[in-house]
């Protein structure tokens, strides 16, 4: 993958003296309009504002997007200090057969991070989906342990020393499956048992002692019975594991926020964050975005509401010094998984990320900068 130009180089090529333009946009179609609601706060990237408080800001993306869209690649390199592959490290892509690994797509992303002095984050070693076609008919109770540990050895070993953090497990708690321990009834639980969790963390630590090892979860931030159950079962699971020195080092809060849900980031969530920090765990906001399907079609009021949700969430989370990184699940609305996963009924673009579909900063961008500026340093 080619290195994209630095901002200074791009300015030179575009005939603009460095420092001669107050705003960040360079490529055509990306120049920031004066009337942009966020324009008054632009001056540096989100990563710089987060970095000034000791927090890493980054985003998820796919290698094809960076390769085929130089405007996007440039924005990504300017705004992010951390990159997480959206799908390249999932079994479906990484494991074409039970014996082989296809590292090329994720390696392309790793190379991009090297070219742009970014950190790289791994998502995810052991999840409940998506798996390649061979998986379901292959796994059984006699080979499951070896299948899991061989996978972790192969993948965490390949990237040893290169990862800022690894999601070792993902979406583990799922009270809807009605197990008394709150665990999702995944193939790993069925064929190995709940011990798969500690096995996975131990194997990852053995292979890559320098990566922060994360337990990534969804819906922990909701003020709802569902949120209460997730938080309760998470703590119930994690405490005895930590007592036995299982190397769980951080919790990932996915934070796929939903506009119109009754509440997020309330006092019960705050108490949870405190407890997580007191246990010695770091916190990563791992997949922040907003589903805006219930919001008005008009961009301006819609963006305002989306930005308010970011403010509400970040102002609850960032005061906790255990929070070391914040990632959005995508950077520009041109490429958000929500276009497919949670499309608007009016077919308009979903606007849940800091940059819109023409790479202009939205009100969310300004809200993020403001939230990072207000955060205590760590
Ligand atoms: C999503 C990707 O963004 C999509 O492209 C893919 O089709 C489905 O998965 N929580 C997670 C991520 O942990 O792996 C999911 O990523 C989004 C929800």
The Cα 103–Cα 108 span in angstroms is 9
Check if 254 has its Cβ closer than 6 Å to any atom of ligand 1. Answer: yes
pLDDT of amino acid 262: 81
Q: Specify whether the CB–CB gap between 351 and 302 falls below 8 A.
A: yes
Residue 357 Cα to ligand 1 midpoint, Å, equals: 19
Q: What is the pLDDT of residues 309-337, one digit of tens each?
A: 999 999 999 999 999 999 999 999 999 99
Q: What is the pLDDT of residues 199-215, one digit of tens each?
A: 999 999 999 999 999 99
The Cα 364–Cα 353 span in angstroms is 7
The Cα 17–Cα 13 span in angstroms is 10
Residue 314 Cα to ligand 1 midpoint, Å, equals: 21
Check if 289 has its Cβ closer than 6 Å to any atom of ligand 1. Answer: no
Check if 167 has its Cβ closer than 6 Å to any atom of ligand 1. Answer: no
Query: What integer is the mean pLDDT of 283-301?
Result: 98
Check if 337 has its Cβ closer than 6 Å to any atom of ligand 1. Answer: yes
Please determine, for residue 136, whether its predicted confidence score (pLDDT) is greater than 90.
yes
Query: What integer is the mean pLDDT of 258-280?
Result: 95
Check if 93 has its Cβ closer than 6 Å to any atom of ligand 1. Answer: no
Q: Specify whether the CB–CB gap between 11 and 26 falls below 8 A.
A: yes
Residue 123 Cα to ligand 1 midpoint, Å, equals: 10
Residue nearest to atom 7 of ligand 1 (CA): 337
Please determine, for residue 196, whether its predicted confidence score (pLDDT) is greater than 70.
yes
Check if 65 has its Cβ closer than 6 Å to any atom of ligand 1. Answer: no
The Cα 180–Cα 178 span in angstroms is 6
Check if 86 has its Cβ closer than 6 Å to any atom of ligand 1. Answer: yes
Q: Which atom of ligand 1 is nearest to the CA of 62?
A: 5
Q: How many CA atoms lie within 13 A of 335 on its CB side?
A: 20
Q: Are strands 163-170 and 56-61 parallel, antiparallel or unpaired?
A: unpaired
Torsion of CA 329, 155, 202, 210, to 10 degrees: -70
Rounded (10°) angle between helices 267-278 and 299-317: 40
Question: Smallest Cα–Cα separation from 288: which of 353, 223, 211?
Answer: 353
Q: What is the pLDDT of residues 140-191, one digit of tens each?
A: 999 999 999 999 999 999 999 999 999 999 999 999 999 999 999 999 999 9
Q: If you average pLDDT over every residue of the chain, what do you get?
A: 91
Check if 87 has its Cβ closer than 6 Å to any atom of ligand 1. Answer: yes
């Amino acid at each position: 993958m080619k290195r994209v130009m630095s901002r200074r180089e791009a300015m030179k090529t575009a005939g603009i003296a460095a420092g001669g333009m107050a705003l960040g946009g360079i490529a055509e179609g990306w120049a920031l309009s004066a009337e942009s609601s966020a324009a008054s706060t632009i001056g540096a990237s989100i990563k710089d504002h987060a970095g000034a408080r000791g927090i890493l800001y980054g985003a998820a993306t796919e290698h094809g997007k960076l390769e085929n869209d130089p405007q996007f690649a440039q924005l990504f390199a300017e705004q992010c200090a951390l990159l997480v592959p959206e799908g390249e490290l999932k079994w479906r892509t990484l494991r074409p057969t039970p014996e082989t690994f296809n590292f090329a797509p994720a390696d392309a992303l790793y190379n991009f991070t090297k070219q742009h002095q970014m950190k790289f984050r791994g998502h995810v070693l052991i999840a409940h989906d998506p798996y390649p076609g061979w998986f379901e008919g292959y796994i059984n109770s006699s080979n499951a342990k070896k299948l899991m540990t061989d996978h972790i050895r192969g993948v965490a070993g390949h990237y040893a020393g290169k990862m800022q953090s690894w999601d070792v497990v993902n979406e583990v708690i799922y009270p809807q499956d009605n197990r008394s321990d709150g665990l999702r009834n995944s193939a790993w639980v069925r064929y190995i048992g709940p011990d798969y969790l500690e096995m996975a963390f131990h194997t990852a630590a053995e292979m890559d002692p320098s990566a922060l090892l994360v337990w990534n979860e969804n819906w922990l931030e909701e003020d709802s019975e569902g949120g209460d159950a997730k938080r309760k079962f998470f703590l119930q699971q994690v405490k005895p594991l930590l007592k036995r020195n299982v190397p769980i080092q951080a919790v990932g809060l996915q934070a796929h926020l939903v506009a119109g849900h009754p509440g997020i980031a309330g006092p019960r969530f705050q108490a949870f964050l405190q407890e997580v920090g007191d246990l010695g765990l770091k916190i990563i906001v791992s997949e922040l975005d907003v589903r805006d399907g219930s919001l008005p079609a008009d961009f301006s009021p819609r963006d305002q509401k989306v930005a308010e949700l970011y403010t509400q969430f970040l102002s609850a989370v960032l005061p906790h010094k255990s929070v070391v990184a914040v990632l959005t699940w995508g950077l520009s609305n041109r490429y958000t998984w929500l276009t497919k996963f949670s499309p608007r009924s009016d077919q308009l673009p979903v606007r849940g990320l800091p940059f819109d579909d023409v790479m202009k900063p939205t009100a969310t961008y300004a809200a993020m900068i403001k939230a990072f500026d207000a955060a205590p340093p760590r």
